[in-house]
Amino acid sequence: MKFTLKNKSGKARTGTVSTAHGEIRTPAFMPVGTAATVKAMQPESVAETGADILLGNTYHLMLRPTAERIAKLGGLHKFMNWNKPILTDSGGFQVMSLSKIRKIKEQGVEFQSHIDGSKHMLSPERSMEIQHLLGSDITMIFDECTPYPATHQVAKESMELSLRWAKRSKDAFVEREGYGLFGIVQGSVYEDLREISAKGLCEIDFDGMAIGGLAVGEGQEVMFAVLDYTTPMLPEDKPRYLMGVGKPSDIVGAVARGVDMFDCVIPTRSGRNGQAFTRQGAINIKNAQYADDPTPIDNKCTCPACTKYSKAYVNHLVKSNEILGCMLMTWHNLQYYQDLMSDIREAIDNGTFEEFAANFDS
């Protein structure tokens, strides 16, 4: 896997990540396809929004339908009919947040499935095996997502465990042309711990670096403060991925601090619940004021919801719990996010990103 840095505007940067299944233009937003599907969207529809890469998840796919079954059926790309790059999260966050009962050991995490209560062990080696079976272009190391808030001592022990698991993940990863492995910087909100984590991961040497343990309740101001001191610790010649972020303003602020890649369920989940992101701000399409509104959700948007239907119609669909309402709202939000990333890349390439960010905030 190769990362090519293209332009910079302040700390913001554009580039290209080259993988076995194509190129990813950065800064990039990855729609979340947790269980081999972006909810309420066909893969070709996701591609039409301009997305270069999707995110899948080790935890969910190992439980259902299983990585072994997907491998027998030709791998995740063929299984879900997506011929572009795929990044898979290692399952560490979901083991902590979804499993019914879990025990963290040096070997890995023993847990019970949230689906049927079955018992499983997820270790760095097993996570690498699953992601290899899936055929992920970008594999994430297996780590512990440190809870928030956490004391310095708790965060230190968690970070050190993640570093040991990072080395085991690297040792178990199968190197091959066009495929990469990302490390994950942990350390909660403590600068000294983030520095130890970043240095340790750099010594192990990964193809990209992720920043984990943020967007877990600390708030935007704290998140930006952590990014301010963490991104300078990361290699210039490798992509930087902020996991689980976020809202449009989070993305613009993180790009300004040198981040290249993002993922979040916000655009899809919000869409299914009636929130639409627009160039004038977010709106709740369920509001009574839109019941008679003949205008599109966003008159500059090219998605089907905006080019073919009115706010009044989408308001009716969503309030009636019609499936088409979820589809149109999700498509619109994903289009908004990809348009935002395109505008960000253009501003960076033109050297006007700081002006773009200031106008976006206002």
**104 pairs with which residues across the strands?**
109
To 5 degrees, how large is the angle CA 201–CA 203–CA 205?
70
**Amino acid identity, position 49:** T
225-249 burial, b for 16+ CB within 10 Å, e for fewer? ebbeebbebbeeebbbbbbbbbbbe
Contact 30, 137 (CB under 8 A): no
Residue for token pair 């289009």: 335
Look at the chain and count its residues: 362
Residue listed under structure tokens 């890995």: 108
Interatomic CA distance for residues 174 and 170, integer angstroms: 8
CA 39 to CA 313: how far, in whole Å? 21
65: β partners: none
Q: Which two tokens stand for residue 316?
A: 């009716």
For residues 276 and 318, the answer to whether their CB atoms sit within 8 Å is no
The residue type of 6 is: K
What's the per-residue H, E or C state across 197-257? HHHHHHHHCCCEEEECCCCCCCCHHHHHHHHHHHHHHCCCCCCEEECCCCCHHHHHHHHCC
List the one residue out of 272, 265, 274, 320 whose CA is nearest residue 297.
Answer: 274
Active site residues: 89, 263
Burial of 205 (0-12, 13-18, 19+ CB in 10 A): exposed
| Secondary structure of residue 359 in the 3-state scheme | helix
Query: Which two structure tokens, joined as six digits, stand for 295?
Result: 């205008």
Q: Residue 348 — φ and ψ, nearest 5°?
A: -65, -45
Contact (CB, 8 A) for 102 and 95: yes
Sheet of 54-57, strand order: 28-30, 261-263, 240-242, 208-211, 180-185, 138-140, 86-89, 54-57
